[in-house]
Amino acid sequence: PRFETCWPALMKDSHGVIIIFNPDLPSHLKEIEMWYSCFVQQQLLLDTQCLLVAHHKPGSGGDTENLSLAYPLNKLKLIHSNLEEDPEDVRMEFIKYFRSIITIINESREREEMSIIS
């Protein structure tokens, strides 16, 4: 919230949003609802353009089973990152996410080109 004046610049022409949070902090679980509302819903982005990353600090135990998010966050792709245990899994998930964003960008560009032609 301290940087709200910068948000319009950050959001301009954005194609994707990655929200990283600490699932061990109740305040973060509340804040991600605000981030989702401002950066995804108000920008009219698709839920597929948003990735949630629950980042577990080293030694936190990383309970990946019992994190249940309320609607509408529970519709989003959620990955757990624990760089001690599975950095490769996280890397692969990021690659998949970026590929999906590139596909969305290419499809919208093709639609624009077709609308110009017709």
- Please provide residue 24's backbone torsions phi and psi, each rounded to the nearest 5 degrees: -80, -10
Residues 6+ apart with CB under 8 A from 50: 16, 17, 18, 19, 36, 39, 40, 76, 77
User: Measured in whole angstroms, how far is the alpha carbon of residue 33 from the centre of its chain?
Assistant: 12
Residues 75-118: tens digit of each pLDDT: 999 999 887 777 888 899 999 999 999 999 999 899 988 889 87
CA torsion through residues 84, 86, 91, 97, sign: negative
pLDDT over 70, % of the chain: 92
Query: How does DSSP classify residue 25?
Result: -
Residues 18-75: tens digit of each pLDDT: 999 999 888 888 899 999 999 999 999 999 999 999 998 877 665 556 678 889 999 9
